[in-house]
Amino acid sequence: MYTDYNRFSVNAFTAVSDAWGLLSSNYWPFFGVTSILLVAVCCIPAGGLLAPFLTAGIYAMVFRALRGEQYDLSTAFGDGFKGKSWRVFFAAVVAGLPWLPLTVMSQMIDRIEKAPQETVAIFLIAALVFFAIAMVWGLTCVFWIPLIVDKDLSFGEAFGLSARAAWMNLPGLVLLYIISGVILTIGMLAVCLGMLFVYPLVMVAYAFAYRQVFPDDKLPSPGHEPPPPDAYPGVFGQRI
């Protein structure tokens, strides 16, 4: 069972900066996937069912990019997480459950405005409680899907590790939430279409934050010792 992770290692500003660096060199594949994700969730009945898979696909694309491997849209549409689809889907469903009451309550706003003042106050308090629960739960599950994609953990193992790692990186994740909210708000102000262009930055930033907590075990660590000079052919690095 995989249990290793870094503590207090999420640097929100670095995650956003690194995400911008990756997107500046290859923006359009990520734009395509996130645009499909937003359109599916907002405009297509039951389109939200695609969200877990596209989210997993974005993580898979980032992980391959950081390893210097080839990636394209096929990576986001299943190639990057073969054999893990059902775990990805159910992790996203469970992670999103606390938002259901808020969705229902948002559809009741027109009716509740005409209710007695005491009822409105209770409604608002309940909404705040559900929102707090959803935020805490969302933080707990923030690494759930990428752990399944990256480490191929079981449903339960990925959840437990996500919870422990998230709460041991709380300050950085909270700051990343705030920065993401500011970026998305700016996108909304740009006639809403700006959301399509800034959403890739937010999604990729979370992938980089994940990598700060869970370094790629397929790559040499920063302290990895280079081979001795005589390991190279010829006389490179050897005293003459």
Measured distance CA(91)–CA(132) in Å, rounded: 20
Residue 34 CA to residue 201 CA, distance in Å, equals 10
Query: What is residue 219's predicted lDDT score, i.e. its pLDDT?
Result: 66
Expressed in angstroms, the distance from the first to the final Cα of the chain is 49
Query: What's residue 222's pLDDT?
Result: 47
pLDDT average, residue stretch 188-212: 91
Question: Hey, where are the domains in the chain?
Answer: 88-168
- Half-sphere exposure of residue 64: CA atoms within 13 angstroms, side-chain side: 20
d(CA 123, CA 107): 12
pLDDT tens column, 163-183: 999 999 999 999 999 999 999
Whether residue 81 contacts residue 57, with contact meaning beta carbons closer than 8 Å, is answered with: yes
Q: Tally Cβ neighbours within 10 Å of residue 7.
A: 11
pLDDT tens-digit map of 65-85: 999 999 988 899 888 888 999
Report the predicted TM-score, pTM, of the whole model to 2 decimal places. 0.85
Nearest to 36, CA basis, from 17, 49, 25: 49
- Cα dihedral 109, 37, 135, 46, rounded to 10, equals 50
Q: For 182-190, which contacts have Cβ atoms below 8 Å and span 24 or more sequence positions? A: 183/16
- Return the DSSP state at 6: -
pLDDT the model gives residue 236: 35
